[in-house]
């Protein structure tokens, strides 16, 4: 911790170290190239899985972690929670396909210091990285945790949706993207029965009377997600 405090002081002499965790090698390499162009940042490693990420975090203790929230078939919010508690000296920027505020708020509450969609530009990536570091630097110099967050506002307009678990929210988003039970099961590596159970939980928590109401609600809710891709919109109302 003493090393971190010295490095975060006003007279910083060494670059901020950055670890990039994403299961897509092209994305990892692309982000590394962008960050490496900044003289005060240095990429110390890459990981494409949770196990490798933990090993590299232990080895390098980086200043900053760029973390994909969808490693393989898993929802990464729980993993984010785990590493935020275990590696308190590392700032985390969560990366996701989803641009909606509810998903971002969950990531920030789980311990991320920033949130960025994978549709962001190179300039937005650097702006977010610098903003997170700028917020943390004076707080750490005072021996205080970096509690201020950088990213979409954490307020959630749909109070009921905020009561969904991370996995239920993920399923709800996939329903809103036009995926049927079978496709969601395949996407998440779960059984159809498990997905049906999640659907029932979502209907109960959000007050939907049947499957048709659930689909309509998910599609309407997804309309407020700026990170949705054009391909996902083509499949609206026709779940597979």
In terms of Cβ atoms closer than 10 Å to its own Cβ (0-12, 13-18, 19+), residue 51 is: exposed
Instruction: Give SS3 for 101.
Output: helix
Contact between residue 101 and residue 152 where contact means Cβ atoms under 8 Å apart: yes
Asked if residue 129 and residue 26 are part of one domain, the reply reads yes
Question: For position 204, what pLDDT does the model report?
Answer: 86
For the chain, the domain total comes to: 2
Output the pLDDT for position 239: 52
**DSSP classification of residue 162:** G
As a whole number, the mean pLDDT across the chain is: 79
Collect the ranges in the chain with pLDDT lower than 70: 1-13, 72-75, 99-100, 136-162, 223-240
Asked whether 104 and 233 are in contact (CB, 8 A), the reply is no
How far the first Cα of the chain sits from its last, in Å, is 51
Residue 191 lies in a domain: yes
Percent of the chain with pLDDT over 70: 73
Quick one: 98 and 205 in the same domain?
A: no
Per-residue pLDDT at 155: 38
Q: Are residues 43 and 125 in the same domain?
A: yes
Check residue 74 and give its pLDDT. 63
Instruction: Based on the fold, state whether residues 102 and 72 are members of the same structural domain.
Output: yes
Residue 236: count of CB within 10 angstroms of its CB: 16
Whether residue 124 sits in one domain with residue 51: yes
**Under 8 Å between Cβ of 84 and 112:** yes
Residue 222 is part of a domain; what is its CATH number? 1.10.10.10
**Are residues 169 and 137 part of one domain?**
no
pLDDT at 226: 44
Phi, psi of 47 (to 5 degrees): -150, 145
9 and 126 fall within a common domain: yes
* Of 120, 58, 55, residue with least CA distance to 93: 120
């Amino acid at each position: 911790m003493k090393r971190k405090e010295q490095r975060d002081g006003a007279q910083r002499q060494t670059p901020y170290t950055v670890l990039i965790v994403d299961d897509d090698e092209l994305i990892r390499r692309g982000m590394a190239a962008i960050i490496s162009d900044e003289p005060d940042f240095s990429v110390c490693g890459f990981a494409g899985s949770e196990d490798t990420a933990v090993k590299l975090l232990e080895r390098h203790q980086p200043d900053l972690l760029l973390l994909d929230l969808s490693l393989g078939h898993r929802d990464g919010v729980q993993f984010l929670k785990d590493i935020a508690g275990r590696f308190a000296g590392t700032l985390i920027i969560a990366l996701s396909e989803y641009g909606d505020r509810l998903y971002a708020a969950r990531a920030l509450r789980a311990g991320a210091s920033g949130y960025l969609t994978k549709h962001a530009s190179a300039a937005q990536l650097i702006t977010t990285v610098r903003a997170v570091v700028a917020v943390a630097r004076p707080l750490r110099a005072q021996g205080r945790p970096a509690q201020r967050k950088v990213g979409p506002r954490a307020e959630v307009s749909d109070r009921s949706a905020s009561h969904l678990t991370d996995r239920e929210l993920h399923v709800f988003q996939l329903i809103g993207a036009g995926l049927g039970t079978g496709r969601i099961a395949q996407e998440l590596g779960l059984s159809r029965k498990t997905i049906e159970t999640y659907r029932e939980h979502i209907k109960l928590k959000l007050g939907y009377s049947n499957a048709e109401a659930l689909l309509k609600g998910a599609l309407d809710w997804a309309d407020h997600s700026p990170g949705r891709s054009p391909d996902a919109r083509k499949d609206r109302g026709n779940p597979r």
